[in-house]
Structure 1
Amino acid sequence: MSVAESAIDLERTLRERFDLEQFRPGQREVIENVVQGRDVLCVMPTGGGKSLCYQLPALLLPRMTLVVSPLIALMKDQVDVLIQRGVRATLLNSSLDPAEQRTRLQEIEAGQYDLVYVAPERFRSPRFVEAMAKIRPSLLAVDEAHCISEWGHDFRPDYAKIGLARRRIGAPPCIALTATATDLVRRDIADQLDLQDPAQFVTGFDRPNLGYAVVEARRDADKLVALAQTLEQNRGPSVIYASSRARCESVGQFLENQLNRSVAIYHAGLSREERHSAQDRFMSGEAEIVVATNAFGMGVNKANIRSVIHFNMPGTLEAYYQEAGRAGRDGNSARCVLLFALGDRFLQEMFIENEYPPADTVFQVFNFLRALESDPIELTHAEIKESAGIELNESAVGTAIKILEGAGALEKFLPRENMAIVRINAEADEPSLTRRLGSQAHVQRTVVLGLEGLVNRRFGETIYFHPDDFATTLGLDRPALNRALRTLAAELPIDYIPPFRGNAIRVIDRSRKARDLEIDFTALEKRKQREYDKLERMVRYAQTRQCRRSYILSYFGDASASRVHCGHCDNCGLGDGLATPHAGVPIDSTAGREVVLKVLSGVARAKGRFGKTVIAQMLTGSGSEKMDRWGLKHLSTYGILAEFRQPEVVQILDALASSGFVEYQEVDRFRPVANLAAQGWELLKGQVAHPLVLTLPDAIAAKLTNGGLERLAAPRPAASAQAAPHDEDGADAEASALAGDPLWGHLKSLRSEWAREAKQPSYCIFTNQTLDALVRERPSNPKELAGIKGLGPARIERHGASLLAAIAQHADRPVAPSPGAAPAALPKAAPALKTAPSPALERPLKSKTTPTEVEVRTDRSPSSSYIPTEEWTCRLIDRGFKLDEAAAIRGLDFSAILRHLTLAARQGRKVAPEAFLDPEVLKRWDEWRAEQGNVTSPSPYRDASEAMWNLYLACRAQG
């Protein structure tokens, strides 16, 4: 392929698969080297577009691209976005159960994916390494590559083994990517991964749109005052980093109780579901602020974060710059504020001491564990600390266990609900272990044969299984199986761990003495000293009087550090580093007062039952299921402020509260509700004649004064499509002249619902630029829809029919002109909608025959919003598609399909259980339910998940 042809392929792939018009600085050069098969080391600032540097080549290379990523949540987010774009991507990690992992690996071996994301721990599996060696990936991408270096700020032992794993799978070309790496770390990354003459790209650490400030505050009380001031003067989504779980909770309580802000809390002490919920609330805009430990943030793709505030000082400048860099990814100005107390240094020193415990503490932990009889050992770090009499923090116990595991003295097992672990420690070519058993050991022989079948020659690998199911398969009762397993584990090279809760530890050799362990404490001491050196550089940053940006760039060796004054930090003339507060704005127009009265009416009709977020959702016409559940859709104020965004209404409510018209009352812990104050009732009844003055950002004040119409912004210079500003959902925030068009609000509502369903920011569905184009052009068929910028094939396949349906319902409405354009002619009225809900539905699947068109009939009036998403799912099932096929066609999780069908059945839509249940299972469930008197309690059968059982009950409730 010629250079010109290659360039055309890159441009076409960028446009068609990623809906982007041009590359960001540095991306093209990196991608060209990757496609040519060269090793690459890429350092790009946070938000610079690192992911595209391996995602785009993956679509052009002959075999799959293997991506090593540190966080499961990060993998899922990236895979979800790629699938939305029509890219064949998947992940393989511990979030999948063993059966799913085996199936997924078989699919990978069959060549069904272009991109596969794994955690570095996956290379511990001989089965996985063997599969990758056969596949020989075209590219190995190592994300967050600084984790591979002991000189980096987030060293992880499993990352250090990637270089060896790379050689074992055929040494494919490799791209290592990171946002923060000094020159020393970059050299170490190249050495550890064995990169051959790598092309190195350092696109610069400078983020000109970020303003840095440090506020000295000795006590937490002082920090809370500074925090309130910073948030007030830097409105918009914010991330607050705190050093501990307890501080996260206390800061979050302060923000909710004292400032009435919508807050999500995120730290490692929460369950996985709670963390996912907190992240989803922040990403969707339901929570304006997230208060988190450093467990939050990696891979969080929210472009419009306006401030990142560190309540406590991080331990390294690398960590600080990476976390602060999550602000302002949309290219607009954002603030990075460090609340500094000298006492934070002592806190970080304590962390370092616990991370590098002395040899005596490590030996003390080992001797305590090897003296215990239980196997496995199921104790928390706190229990070990207390029982062993260790003086350091319990986190030091965790570090000691990690060190001992690295030395081969201990082994940790991670639990799975009601599952046991077995591992056969035999050679791959060794005959069956039954040859080592006596001729009379019939039960043990049966169990060994069963285990060998279960392991399927994956020797040395931990295999999870349900003991009850295994016993039934072998024809044994559970006690007999347990006795046999205990005997076999004592006599044969078989490890067996029964079901347990929490982390479990096994001492590999209890006869081994602590002093015989091979642990390089000298090397650990050197790493500890490096951590103290980095802490010192962090403290200097907090106390320096030089330009803060210059200090940071100099630390990373960036040549642009020669600029002495950035003009945006507190040391370059911006006083305390905080933005100028918003002055009170008089709302003296008739349209503006009408908006205020609508807001107050919404508060009045809520009758003190809801907080400001729900009231804002009701006033803007949210499609949230809360609106139906609580009857808010039936209020006269539902949707009367559809031209406003939900966070805008929240800010108006806050301004009214600050002016005494609305009051927030805490009726439940941390859950304030909104009520009208006496002054608010007077204003609503027309008894307040004096001018109305509210403290609001200029843009919202202007929009309110104009009755919901946004001011036309001055034309901006052309910018990269990726650098466009984003609104609270992550979509383009440029004021739209079309926002008053009913179709604009309709399409925006659709987009929000699809985003919630996909658990993605709204801009991942399509941007406001695309929204404006849809309203202006009003396409009436799939061909015209394909001409809209920002709607690629995958988006049209998933949402095209619903978009056309919505546009057809507004066919008789006038079209708002684009700024400066001549009035557009009205589009021709679309005929009665007769189109497929998705091009995917026009194609036959397997042996099924489907019509080329599906007539969409509905009893809804033309002014209704759209055909519900659950209806499309029902129509797929009606046409004979299976549940997994419907999920694949619609690009949704299997659980979403079950929810759709359950909701439809409860609303009276006929759903036949025969469509999703095997006849034998259905008969068995019906018989059991009849015997119990048609109960609605959970099924006693293992094959009945809660979601499937609820769907079954909803169908049977129809009669």
Structure 2
Amino acid sequence: MDFEQLTTDRPVSTGRDPETVLHQVFGYERFRPLQGDIIQELVAGRDALVLMPTGGGKSLCYQVPALVRPGTGVVISPLIALMQDQVAALRELGVRAAFLNSTMDFQQARDTENALMTGELDLLYCAPERLIQPRTLDLLRQASVSLFAIDEAHCVSQWGHDFRSDYLQLDVLAREFPGIPRIALTATADERTRQEIAERLSLTAARHFISGFDRPNIQYRITAKTNANKQLLDFIKAEHPGDAGIVYCLSRNKVDATAKMLAEKGFTALPYHAGLPAHERATNQERFLREDGVIIVATIAFGMGIDKPDVRFVAHLDLPKSLEAYYQETGRAGRDGKPSTAWMVYGLQDVIKLRQMLEGSMGNDQFKRVERQKLDAMLGLCEITSCRRQALLRYFGDQLEQPCGNCDTCLTPPETWDGTVAVQKALSCVYRTGQRFGVTYLIDVLRGVENERILQAGHHQISTFGIGNDLSAADWKSVFRQLVANGFLRADPEGYGALQLTEECRPLLRGEETTLLRKDPVSRKTSGRGDSTSRRQAFRDQITDQPGWDALRACRKELADQQGVPPYVIFHDATLFEILERRPRTLDELAEINGVGRAKLEKYGDSFLAALAGLEAR
């Protein structure tokens, strides 16, 4: 690192007021909500605990007061790549920033330490494991420190999804530097995690600043997993060709296979997981941050603190373990506030695998109980039939008064059906086959498949053999998935994927409760028309047939008035535009349009086809 320029530049931290620093250094006219209050708290020398969504402007909450207060602001950050990027960006602004981490040689580290000691730094970024070393603490005791900022503070929580043991030792800051203000920041923490952060970091007396968790520019979509690779390809080709994105998988092998598959289909797709050599991980992350249109396929080892604003989609091919993990990972999309997508497929095997991992873990009973609650909440979001955003925000103690209109359950409300009889058949089949078999075998029994395995076991003679011919194998998979997701069946903790009854299923088995099940949407081809740039442009710049557009909008408005709903509930503008562009002539062709589900096709299809026919007659 070149310190010659740093030492000759005019110091930035000159005691100016926060608004002047914001305008002159960062180029913004005004603070976002809560930023100004948080900054004033730190400038006054008081502590703060901040919860603010990704892209909400957390960094300014400690960068500005570090430039206002005398001394060096010390930022504890868990990711080397992130701190390097932030330091580079700050230096472009004329801020005297540096970092201390394991990538530096002896002389580079010594130069940084000297700059700290001589007051030539405004901000110093440091990894937690580096900060807690006796040498570093001794240096900080001798230096002039303006504040301590603990980024990604949820890492201190042993209940959290990104727990890091080094964070537990950061309470040393409260003991060793009692007069220096501290700020802990995170984008993801429920009430339990917030309390743990405050207790472990000695911030119980700090003022808490909790911003809204809503990310309205992100469209949340979750669908049943049928052919994950094909579903992913169809999604990217149709909606995000050429866009930067992140694809999360549960295992390293799946990461490698998915990245290879996408690369073979012409995408710039790179793997990222802990099993790769360190230099390959670093190179792939660097390409993702620097190049356009790169897709990273990763385990959860990737992404915390990633400061890339134009990630247009985050896809999950496997179920996250908790809503905290889901929110944190999906929050990496659309940091620039532009429309982005959080897309996920999940299936029965995801549920079984996660439950088995949980039950087979080394955690104590309390840990397992908390983790079960977290997984249940995640599954609840997947199977919900109301607005996903409202449910997600409610989990974090936030409220959204009206359905968001920008998640799949708002755009295409899911259908439900009375699954009481089907559930009884499924549970009875599990019981009569001895609770020793997985879902594929159980479905074969229900549908009367006379294969060698069933014949040898004698299960062709039991009462549930062949009683499920009224449903397809895919329908039965959906039934079993929802039974497991809702806790009526569980995966055998010993492994092998066998399904077993739980106590909660007794009322269902006896028929004492009516069971409504969610209908999985029928997969259909996507058009893949249009490139990512045109999809992000305003619709008015794309419309070439204004009378046609007006006619379709009038049709939508009339239907919306009849239903007593806003027009977007009928069809979003994107769907309306695609209808105008493709001019479907039949219901089957209309069903190919993105955003046209089965229910809407039945309710509104004929009206829109009639409107289109009227255009042709002009």
Match of 1:15 among 12, 23, 28: 23
Match of 1:263 among 250, 258, 269: 269
Letter in 2 for 1:74: L
Query: Contact 2:234/2:528 (CA < 8 Å) preserved in 1?
Result: no
Correspondence 1:566 to 2:383: no
Give 1:155 deviation, angstroms: 2.0
- State the distance in 2 between where 1:549 and 1:9 align: 38
Give 1:278 deviation, angstroms: 1.5
Match of 1:340 among 336, 340, 346: 346
- State the distance in 1 between where 2:407 and 2:278 align: 37
**Structure 1 residues 400-415: aligned runs within 5 Å:** none
Say which SS state the counterpart of residue 124 (structure 2) adopts.
Answer: strand
Give 1:122 deviation, angstroms: 2.0
Say which SS state the counterpart of residue 194 (structure 2) adopts.
Answer: helix
Give 1:711 deviation, angstroms: 10
Look up the match of 1:513.
none
Say which SS state the counterpart of residue 58 (structure 2) adopts.
Answer: coil
Match of 2:95 among 87, 93, 107: 87
Say which SS state the counterpart of residue 20 (structure 2) adopts.
Answer: helix
Match of 1:26 among 20, 27, 34: 34
Correspondence 1:182 to 2:190: yes
**Structure 1 residues 212-291: aligned runs within 5 Å:** 212-218=220-226, 222-235=227-240, 236-257=243-264, 259-291=265-297
**Structure 1 residues 767-846: aligned runs within 5 Å:** none
- State the distance in 1 between where 2:344 and 2:536 align: 32
Give 1:313 deviation, angstroms: 0.8
Larger Cα Rg: Structure 1 or Structure 2? 1
Give 1:202 deviation, angstroms: 0.8
Match of 1:526 among 348, 357, 366: 366
Look up the match of 1:327.
333
Cα gap change, 1:353/1:694 in structure 2, threshold over 3 Å: closer, same or farther? closer
Letter in 1 for 2:259: G
- CA deviation string 1:620-677 (max 9, x = no partner): xxxxxxxxxxxxxxxxxxxxxxxxxxxxxxxxxxxxxxxxxxxxxxxxxxxxxxxxxx
Look up the match of 1:108.
116
Look up the match of 1:201.
209
Look up the match of 1:696.
530
Correspondence 1:126 to 2:131: no
Look up the match of 1:74.
82
Say which SS state the counterpart of residue 121 (structure 2) adopts.
Answer: coil
Cα gap change, 1:540/1:98 in structure 2, threshold over 3 Å: closer, same or farther? same
- State the distance in 2 between where 1:536 and 1:58 align: 42
- CA deviation string 1:451-479 (max 9, x = no partner): xxxxxxxxxxxxxxxxxxxxxxxxxxxxx
Letter in 1 for 2:256: E
- CA deviation string 1:128-160 (max 9, x = no partner): 112212225221111011111223322222111
- State the distance in 1 between where 2:536 and 2:340 align: 22
Correspondence 1:36 to 2:44: yes
Match of 2:322 among 316, 320, 336: 316
- CA deviation string 1:790-811 (max 9, x = no partner): xxxxxxxxxxxxxxxxxxxxxx
Give 1:551 deviation, angstroms: 0.8
Give 1:95 deviation, angstroms: 1.8
Unaligned runs of 5+ in 2: 1-13, 416-526, 545-618
- CA deviation string 1:489-538 (max 9, x = no partner): xxxxxxxxxxxxxxxxxxxxxxxxxxxxxxxxxxx442233222211211
- State the distance in 1 between where 2:374 and 2:532 align: 42
Say which SS state the counterpart of residue 94 (structure 2) adopts.
Answer: coil
Cα gap change, 1:210/1:694 in structure 2, threshold over 3 Å: closer, same or farther? closer
- State the distance in 2 between where 1:118 and 1:56 align: 18
Cα gap change, 1:62/1:288 in structure 2, threshold over 3 Å: closer, same or farther? same
**Structure 1 residues 338-417: aligned runs within 5 Å:** 338-352=344-358, 356-357=361-362
Say which SS state the counterpart of residue 545 (structure 1) adopts.
Answer: coil
Match of 2:157 among 149, 164, 167: 149
Query: Contact 1:123/1:165 (CA < 8 Å) preserved in 2?
Result: no
Look up the match of 2:435.
none
Measured on the aligned residues, the alpha-carbon RMSD in Å equals 2.8
**Structure 1 residues 448-597: aligned runs within 5 Å:** 524-558=364-398, 560-563=399-402, 565-574=403-412
Query: Contact 1:136/1:172 (CA < 8 Å) preserved in 2?
Result: no
Match of 1:296 among 280, 299, 302: 302
- State the distance in 1 between where 2:228 and 2:81 align: 31
Say which SS state the counterpart of residue 328 (structure 1) adopts.
Answer: coil
Give 1:90 deviation, angstroms: 1.0
Letter in 1 for 2:245: S
- State the distance in 2 between where 1:177 and 1:233 align: 37
Give 1:103 deviation, angstroms: 3.6
Query: Contact 1:265/1:290 (CA < 8 Å) preserved in 2?
Result: yes
- CA deviation string 1:414-469 (max 9, x = no partner): xxxxxxxxxxxxxxxxxxxxxxxxxxxxxxxxxxxxxxxxxxxxxxxxxxxxxxxx
Look up the match of 1:370.
none
Give 1:348 deviation, angstroms: 2.5
Query: Contact 2:119/2:144 (CA < 8 Å) preserved in 1?
Result: no
Say which SS state the counterpart of residue 269 (structure 1) adopts.
Answer: coil
Matched length: 415
The runs of at least 4 aligned residues of structure 1 exceeding 6 Å deviation read: 709-712
Look up the match of 2:73.
65
Give 1:245 deviation, angstroms: 1.5
Query: Contact 1:132/1:169 (CA < 8 Å) preserved in 2?
Result: no
Letter in 1 for 2:411: G
State TM-score, norm by structure 1: 0.41
Give 1:233 deviation, angstroms: 2.7
Letter in 2 for 1:209: N
Cα gap change, 1:702/1:142 in structure 2, threshold over 3 Å: closer, same or farther? closer
Unaligned runs of 5+ in 1: 1-5, 359-523, 578-692, 704-708, 713-959
- State the distance in 2 between where 1:293 and 1:701 align: 29
Say which SS state the counterpart of residue 201 (structure 1) adopts.
Answer: strand
Query: Contact 1:18/1:85 (CA < 8 Å) preserved in 2?
Result: yes
Cα gap change, 1:302/1:570 in structure 2, threshold over 3 Å: closer, same or farther? same
Say which SS state the counterpart of residue 99 (structure 2) adopts.
Answer: strand
Cα gap change, 1:96/1:7 in structure 2, threshold over 3 Å: closer, same or farther? closer
**Structure 1 residues 165-180: aligned runs within 5 Å:** 165-180=173-188
Say which SS state the counterpart of residue 51 (structure 1) adopts.
Answer: helix
- CA deviation string 1:755-808 (max 9, x = no partner): xxxxxxxxxxxxxxxxxxxxxxxxxxxxxxxxxxxxxxxxxxxxxxxxxxxxxx
Give 1:700 deviation, angstroms: 4.5
**Structure 1 stretch 345-354 or stretch 112-121: which is displaced more?**
345-354
Query: Contact 2:15/2:68 (CA < 8 Å) preserved in 1?
Result: no
Cα gap change, 1:351/1:138 in structure 2, threshold over 3 Å: closer, same or farther? farther
User: Identity of counterpart residues, as a percentage?
Assistant: 40
Give 1:333 deviation, angstroms: 1.6
Look up the match of 1:55.
63
Query: Contact 1:306/1:327 (CA < 8 Å) preserved in 2?
Result: yes
Letter in 2 for 1:122: R
Look up the match of 1:646.
none
Cα gap change, 1:246/1:19 in structure 2, threshold over 3 Å: closer, same or farther? same
- CA deviation string 1:537-584 (max 9, x = no partner): 1111111112110111111001x2443x2111111133689xxxxxxx
Give 1:710 deviation, angstroms: 10
Cα gap change, 1:117/1:711 in structure 2, threshold over 3 Å: closer, same or farther? farther
